Amino acid sequence: MRALDKKLFRDVWRMRVHALGVALVLACGLSVMVMAVGMRGSMERTRAAYYAERHMADVAVSAVRAPERIAELLEEAPGVETIETRVSGVALLDLPGVSEPPSARLVSLPIEGRPRVNDLTLARGRWPDPARANEVLLSQAFAEANNLVLNDRLDATLHGRRQTLRIVGIANSPEFVFVAAPGELFRQAKRFGVIWMNREALARAYDLDGAFNDAVLLLGRNANQAETIAAIDRILEPYGGIGAYGRDRMVSDRFLSEELRQLSTMAIFLPALFLITAAFLVNIALGRVIATERSNIGLLKAFGYSNAAVAWHYAKSALIFAAIGAFIGSAAGIALGRSVAELYRDYYHFPSLEFSASPATFIGAWAAGFAAALTGCIFSVLKAARLSPAEALTPPRPTTFFSAGPTLSRFEASLDAKSRIIMRRIVRFPRRAGTTALGVAFAIALLVVARTMPAEMDYLLDVNFGVANRQDVSLTFTEARDSTVLHQVERLPGVVYAEPFRLDDVILRHNGRTVHEAVFGVPEHARLSQIVGRGQRVMAAPATGIALARALAQKLGAQLGDEIRLEQTRGRRIATSVRVTAIVEPMIGSSAYMEIAALSRLMREPGRISGAHLRMDTSRYDAFNREIKEIPGIAGVSFVGQAEASMRSEFEQGIGVMNFIYAAFAAIMAGGVAFSAARITLAEQERDLATLRVLGFTRLEVSYILVGELMALALIAIPAGLALGTFLSIWLMQLFQTDMYAFPFVFNPAGYAFAVAFTLGCVGAAAMVVRAGIDKLDMIAVLKARD
């Protein structure tokens, strides 16, 4: 077999250009696969270890005020293993040098020892001294975003009282891997953080001495979570329990799960496109080799090699292609994984997140690569196996061409002879033409996806900030105030217009289903916080009844006209019924909406508002911020306008990277396929093209036959690529859709144009490189050579 192996390597060397094409296309797919699967595994392992080590809560619950002795009852509830009661709240911060006050979630630390549930890791510093009320721990992402270091001081307005806190440690918690302000769906590390402080100090600030308003629990091994939650809810009912919930509703964990889900999607979607293309490339490359190797196959068989040995010989070259691709893909996957891990590490502050792909991941990637190569070569290899030695040693029958069928013949007749050559070849070699078109279509589709997703995200931001949240600033009061407060707000420096809003945290019940959500009260003809209706058009608040976001209506199984139950979770805990009078379609969140006066009447607090949205003269922010910090009773100031700007810029950076990667992938895909196809076309037509040169055709005219074939296939591929890209975009968006976001499909013509132009450019570039071969055609040799 040694001679045959030598031949194998000579063959592969001869096919090196195709081998490289196949290997690169495979490598693209497999690198994404290794990265995504490996990253998913790494994240999952890290999360699991982190949760286990730090006792991540299985269940959490909030209440208005529960006496500490209730903790014992909770601990005895079925399934509960450990409980940690806490005091928790949100405070406005005043940071030196930061004019817009950020806010923070405050969480109490146990009076003695470390938290038994949701324990922290200390990145720097030490634990607060229980004897010192002002010592706190600060979450790492927030500290870094605001350049806060140990021993820095920060002023916080807790429950209307200003207090100076001292940072003694920087910490992370499994509970807050992903931190977002309440009601916000985007993380803004600079604007919202977590502060852990002594229980007694915090309880004093919130008037919760000897009581708690928040509890986190660990469940035993065999606990039935639903049963435990029901028991907890029963116990906390009298104390304003809002309803316990599992990890599936803990914001941080949900975001992580979402991220993992997206990695899984990525692990399938991109590699699939590349593996299919690689299989087709192997198919045409090996088809060509076996066609030129006919007589060798005959000789091998005449020497006594079995059909299987011959088949295996050629299959091996495909496997070598795949091995090269899998090798490059694995290495690139590791490199990609490491840089993604670094991104995640910076973003999530996991204590340790190392990218490591399991052996199974690599085995899977290599297997996928080999499977693609084997699938690709099966036809050609079987052909080689079936060829009888006698037949193989006779010259191949010349390729027979035929005129296009009746439908195409009219078109064909209108072409010049050169274009007719192109068309006949496409019709004659449909599999190869199909491969080229498929690769080009995939490349276009990739780019369409890459350009559509940001456009959809953009649209989401446009609707959110252009329709639903047009305010520059939102002020939230610590408790509902009489609407006369609006006049006071209007007098703050820089305020151009103030619009009241009401926000009630409620439990909605219908058909035995329960959902914990927010009801927004907005003026009937709101100018800042508008309700988003069908087709993202502005809708007036319903004069009577409640408007439900479509996702919320679905969760409740509520229809238009249904009467649903509404229970306030705070304050007076009003329980009442209201009719569903509209289904609305906000793109972000799944809340409910009512006319503000109607809502305040329903909650038996007529005229009371929760806060105000402000349109501002932005040049007077500094004066505004100075005053706002002095006003008691303000729980939060959210700078919506700035949030939008920072969100868009962060988002654009991400897009830049993504666009680059997708463009590189598309270039390899389209360029690789076009390059392979052009090389084969040139090799097959070398004699014909040289003949044409002899007959007096110019280089340009002859080049047209080569380049034109590719361009024709690329043109055919355009509609298919655009359609596939559209389909994939819609599909991916549906996968990424949660009840937090709803994406309608957004048609982005510029993106489509780019996808087509860029891909055609890649095909053109590949064609031009191969075209140089036409200048080197040996016209004299062609006169002598037999076909």
Partner 1 sequence: MINAAPSDQPTPLFALRGICRTYGEGQTAVRALIDVNLDISGGELIVLLGPSGSGKSTLLNILGGLDRPSEGAIQFRGAALTGLSEQALTRYRRQHVGFIFQFYNLIPSLTARENVELVGEITDDPLDAAEALELVGLGQRLDHFPSQLSGGEQQRVAVARAIAKRPAVLLCDEPTGALDVKTGVRVLEALQEVNQRYGSTTLIVTHNGDVARMGARVIRFGDGRVRSVETNTARVQPSDLVW
Cβ atoms within 10 Å, residue 479: 13
> Of 52 and 683, which has the nearer Cβ to partner 1?
683
For the chain, report the end-to-end CA distance as a whole number of angstroms: 32
Number of H-type helices and E-type strands within the chain: 22, 22
Nearest CB to partner 1, comparing residues 359 and 406: 406
Nearer Cβ to partner 1, position 383 or 420?
420
Distances (CA, A) of 719 to 441, 726, 748: 8, 10, 15
CB 450 within 8 A of CB 508: no
Closest to partner 1 by CB, 247 vs 428, is 428
Q: How far is the CB of 422 from partner 1 (least distance, A)?
A: 9
Write down the least CB distance from residue 426 to partner 1, Å.
10
Q: Which is nearer to partner 1, 394 or 698 (CB)?
A: 698
CA dihedral of residues 620, 624, 625, 631 (deg, nearest 10): 180
Shortest spacing between CB 395 and partner 1, in angstroms? 12
> Least CB distance from residue 767 to partner 1, whole Å?
19
Q: Which residues are registered as beta bridge partners of 548?
A: 583, 592
- For partner 1, the closer of residues 224 and 394 by Cβ is 394
Please report how close the Cβ of residue 441 comes to partner 1 at its closest, in angstroms: 25
Contacts 24+ apart (CB under 8 A), 701-708: 701/418, 702/774, 702/777, 703/771, 703/774, 704/418, 705/418, 705/421, 705/422, 706/678, 706/681, 706/682, 706/767, 706/770, 706/771, 706/774, 707/678, 707/764, 707/767, 707/768, 707/771, 708/418, 708/419, 708/422
550 near 585, Cβ under 8 Å?
A: yes
- Residue 402 Cβ, how far from partner 1 at the closest point, in Å? 7
Q: How far is the CB of 360 from partner 1 (least distance, A)?
A: 50
Closest CA to 461 of 588, 584, 590, 615: 588
> ∠ CA 731-736-737 to the nearest 5 degrees?
95
Q: Are 633 and 480 in contact (CB under 8 A)?
A: no
Least Å from the CB of residue 466 to partner 1 = 57
The whole-angstrom separation of Cα 523 and Cα 529 is 9
Of 497, 492, 489, give the one whose Cα is nearest residue 472.
Answer: 497
H helical segments located in 608-748:
621-628, 640-694, 699-736
- The alpha carbons of the chain give a radius of gyration, in whole angstroms, of 33
Nearer to partner 1, 657 or 694 (CB): 694
Q: Which residues pair with 169 in a beta bridge?
A: 125, 137
**d(Cα 212, Cα 68) in Å, to the nearest integer?**
6
Residue with tokens 């035993």: 220
Distance (Å, rounded) from C-alpha 464 to C-alpha 642?
13
Contact in structure between 669 and 273 (CB atoms under 8 Å) = yes
Q: How far apart are CA 64 and CA 237, in angstroms?
A: 10
Q: What is the DSSP string of 117-172?
A: SS--EEEEE-PPPTT-TTEEEEEHHHHHHTT--TT-EEEEEETTEEEEEEEEEEEE
In the complex, least distance from residue 674 CB atom to partner 1, rounded to whole angstroms:
20
Which of 370, 429 has the CB closer to partner 1? 429
Cβ contacts of 528 within 8 Å, gap of 6 or more:
469, 470, 471, 497, 499, 613, 614, 615
Nearer to partner 1, 531 or 689 (CB): 689
Return the number of the residue (13 or 402) whose C-beta is nearest partner 1: 402
Question: What is residue 557's DSSP assignment?
Answer: T
Q: How far is the CB of 391 from partner 1 (least distance, A)?
A: 18
Q: How far is the CB of 691 from partner 1 (least distance, A)?
A: 4
Closest CA to 440 of 660, 720, 664: 720
In whole angstroms, the minimum distance from the beta carbon of 678 to partner 1 comes to 17
Shortest CB 408 distance to partner 1, Å: 14
Toward partner 1, which CB reaches closer, 3 or 417? 417
Residue 14 or 428: which CB sits closer to partner 1?
A: 428
- Which helix (H) or strand (E) covers residue 497, if one does? strand 495-510
Q: Which is nearer to partner 1, 354 or 775 (CB)?
A: 775
Quote the least distance from Cβ 748 to partner 1, whole Å.
40
In the bound state with partner 1, the residue whose beta carbon lies nearer, of 69 and 786, is 786
Least distance to partner 1 from the beta carbon of 15, Å? 24
Contact footprint for partner 1 (CB under 8 A): 397-403, 416-418, 420-421, 424-425, 428, 687-688, 691-699, 701, 779-780, 782-787
Q: Which residue, 692 or 717, is less far from partner 1 as judged by CB?
A: 692
Distance, CA of 688 to CA of 462 (rounded, Å): 57
Measure Cα distances from 26 to 33, 169, 326, 327, 745 in Å: 10, 48, 7, 10, 30
Nearest approach, Cβ of residue 276 and partner 1 (Å): 29
Contact by Cβ (8 Å): 138, 91: no
Nearer to partner 1, 28 or 692 (CB): 692
CB-wise, 309 or 427, nearer to partner 1?
Answer: 427
CA atoms within 13 A of residue 513's CA, in its CB half-sphere: 12
- CA atoms of 195 and 92, how far apart (whole Å): 11
Least distance from C-beta 695 to partner 1, angstroms? 6
Residues present in the chain in total: 787
Point out which residues pair with 673 in neighbouring strands. none
